[in-house]
Amino acid sequence: MGFSRSLFAGLALFTLGAQAHAGATLERVEAHKELVNVLMESYPPFSFLNDQNELDGFDVDVAKAVAEKLGVKLRLETPSWDVIAAGRWSGRYDVCICSMTPSKARAEVFDFPVEYYASPAVIVVNAKDDRIHAAKDLNGLKVGLTSASSYESYLNKNLVIEGAEDKPLTYPFDFVQAVPYDTDNVAFQDLGLGAGVRLDAILTNLVTAQPRLAQDKRFKLAGAPLYEEPNAVAVEKGDPEWEAKVRQVFAELKADGTLTKLSQKWIGADISK
């Protein structure tokens, strides 16, 4: 009531455009017969270069299973985490099966159709360091982490996990100097030089830390996990058809046991959600 014919026509065109955009990713995947997944090159056991210099790991295998369900080939892209987490991919990537924690800030640029595993956030210190036993002991210290990660938000005391707003995190420290790295590898190298030489601790994922701790006795865990970190599949905002398809595929992978099988293969336990 009160709409002009031209305005109504404009709204109709807008609606058609929105509908066309809504299915843009699925249309692109089906047209190219290819799923482009973006992830980190060095985040073992989730993604890493194996002895054949090929990307391997839990996230890689999950992405392969998704592509297989879709009936398309898989292409993996590995820009820096800063680029991945910034979003606004403009169609360069279709999906991020890449161990992303859904935070309130990230929800401004991403939709998170599926949480596919969960893991605790932990503090790792030099094995000879007896100063740190909990998050409160990080006060005033230098803590390494992956740049633009949820761990950086935690140390900046502004991490709000999407879907867990009713369980706000506590920050038992005044100030911690977050030291960002492109990957955990260099952070562990720096912590291995000794307590306080370049770093006092690393904040990371328990599942990622466990193989390092088992193989390298220069490191140990400090205290209990800080919080459980849900990890979600991320897609660009505003594409409900693609979201629905991703949810459907992951429901199938959960129901047929694929996620549990891959979790047992790479983690030694079922961390799938």
pLDDT digits (tens, 9 = 90+) for 183-198: 899 999 999 999 999 9
Give the C-alpha separation, 100 to 230, whole Å: 8
* Two tokens, residue 28: 């692109």
Q: Is the peptide bond before 168 cis (omega within 30 degrees of 0)?
A: no
* Two tokens, residue 196: 């306080």
Q: Is the peptide bond before 45 cis (omega within 30 degrees of 0)?
A: yes
Distances (CA, A) of 244 to 16, 24, 256, 264: 19, 13, 18, 27
Checking if the pLDDT of 12 tops 90, the result is no
Bridge-based pairing of strands 177-181 and 227-236 is unpaired
pLDDT digits (tens, 9 = 90+) for 126-147: 999 999 999 999 999 999 999 9
* Two tokens, residue 221: 């865990």
Q: Tell me the pLDDT band of 80, cut-offs 50, 70 and 90.
A: very high
Checking if the pLDDT of 234 tops 80, the result is yes
- The H or E element spanning position 258 is helix 258-267
- The H or E element spanning position 210 is helix 206-215
Residue 240, classed as helix, strand or coil, is helix
* Two tokens, residue 10: 């404009």
Q: Tell me the pLDDT band of 164, cut-offs 50, 70 and 90.
A: confident
Residue 91, classed as helix, strand or coil, is coil
Return the percent helix, strand and coil in the chain, to nearest 5. 40, 25, 35
For 181-210, give the secondary structure using H, E and C: ECCHHHHHHHHCCCECCCECEEEEEHHHHH
Report the pLDDT value the prediction gives residue 26, as an integer from 0 to 100: 96
Distances (CA, A) of 8 to 2, 136, 166: 10, 60, 42
Average model confidence (pLDDT) across the chain = 90
Report the pLDDT value the prediction gives residue 211, as an integer from 0 to 100: 86
Distances (CA, A) of 213 to 205, 208, 238: 12, 9, 41
Q: In this structure, what DSSP letter does residue 133 have?
A: S
Concatenate the DSSP letters of all residues of 87-106 into one string: ---TTS-SBEEEEE--BTTG
